[in-house]
Structure 1
Amino acid sequence: MTAVTAGRRMGGAHAAPARRRMAVLPTAALVIGALYCVVPTLWIVIAATKSSAELFSTETYLPSLSGGLADNVRELSSYSGGVFWHWMLNSFLYAAVGGLAASAVSACAGYAIAKYEFHGRRLIFNGILAGVLLPQIVLAIPQYLLLSKVGLNNSYASIILPQLFNPYGIYLCRIYAAASVPDSVLEAGRMDGASEFRLFRSVGLRLMGPGLVTVFLLQFIVIWNNFLLPFVMVTSDDKFPLTVGLYSMLRHGANEAALYSLVITGTLLSVIPVIALFLSLQRYWRIDLVTGALK
């Protein structure tokens, strides 16, 4: 008995270092992934502090101390009559309006699929799941052809309308409505004489609030970073979002190297609204609202 126990202890002692070595692998993978994300961002932050002359003549990861960032921001603001800030405003308009509208559509569709029994519900939900798997790049040309038929190409609506139906947002709202909106609360509201729309507005939307914030944030970022759809739909400079506008500057920069610094500075400035949105909306993420409603 003693020998068996000692053998087990020795086996466990030999297995512990092996487990520790195996535990290092996930940590190393996370560190590599973090570096993959952080290093390009760090390069943009450092490169934005350099003038066009310093960009290619100084060490890559050493920032400039000559006030190049302020000069780049001033030059970017004066470029082509301040068109950069017009692009920034366009991006915010597309992302804010499109994100809010898509969140509203997703909330209505997800709530209906989760809380009502009707013929074809499973088929509709399976179709939405198929839409999640469909690459958006496949839809860009058909959407352009459809909108051009009705004369909406090269307009603000041509960017916003294709974003209204978000299969992934509907999927999230369906899952969140099923988990966070109790049927007992809805039945109590029906017994009190509340209409279905009143239940959705006063009960469903309130309990789905954290999920809707997530849907809006994801859709805002998707529209903010979208390049292909506005590149296909819009041809006028005054309707460009930041992605297409900075790309047009980069194309001109092939013949004018001074624009490289402005494009890098514009890329850095384009990240600030997304960071601000994350910080301002994180306080709305709550998971215990159902408990409060039931009480």
Structure 2
Amino acid sequence: MTTTYRSSGPGGAAPSGIAHRLARALPMPAGAGMARTLVERNFVSFRRTWTIIVSGFFEPVFFLFAMGVGIGSMVGDIQLPDGGSVPYLAFVAPALLASSAMNGAVFDSTTNVFFKLKYAKLYDSVLSTPLGPRDVAIGEISWALLRGLVYSGAFLVVAWLAGAVESLWALAAVPAATLIGWAFASVGMASATYMRTWADFDYIQLAIMPMFLFSATFFPLTTYPQALQWLVQATPLYHGVAMTRELMLGDVSLAMVGHVGYLAVMGMVGTLWTAGRVERLLLK
């Protein structure tokens, strides 16, 4: 039933066995079971331009050594709310992991989707197969998550080698980064469906740049004025940063439930929003 579409990758090549098994292992919600085939298609397409995917790994690594090692040598240790202290490198590494999960998910789910939707008209061809609009939404979000999973796992290894990992809880930072990616990828893809030209991506940058700088990423929350702390805590990236920081520092608390709940709700709302928008655009 899906043979025609699965052979539609670059050069007409069929997906590899690895891609097929990986796609079949992905859990898909009811009504979007064929989204796996779109993940397979993306895998086949991007394996010929793998350098583009690999390049996304280096940005957070450069930030880690520039901020953690360079500036960290001048800042010294950071005081934690519980009275303890950690080196600045260990403090900033979890935030960079969360930020890279956000940036990768947002840009993958907006620029790629916008191009496919507005210029390549890929999804019009997809709908001529047994796939539907919900498969498109879930498939593209899942692909963004897979890329984020690779980035976060590789970054965690680099952070460990650099001495920025304080606890075995850090292993849970990879699925935590995947949760962050889901939250931002789902909302990012929904946002892409409203864009008219490439210039509209300036609004995306306007939204994520302040979060990157002011979500307790580089400084503790207590350094912000009291009147602004509530605003910082309302941003989704703050919850991602706080969650990964607790895990990598081994200081897990009940606040983790709130962070996970916030991002999970954001991911579910964003996924439903994306599915509705894609359906309205492709079936109008």
TM norm structure 2: 0.32
TM-score by length of 1: 0.31
With a CA cutoff of 8 Å and minimum separation of 6, indicate the structure with the bigger relative contact order.
1
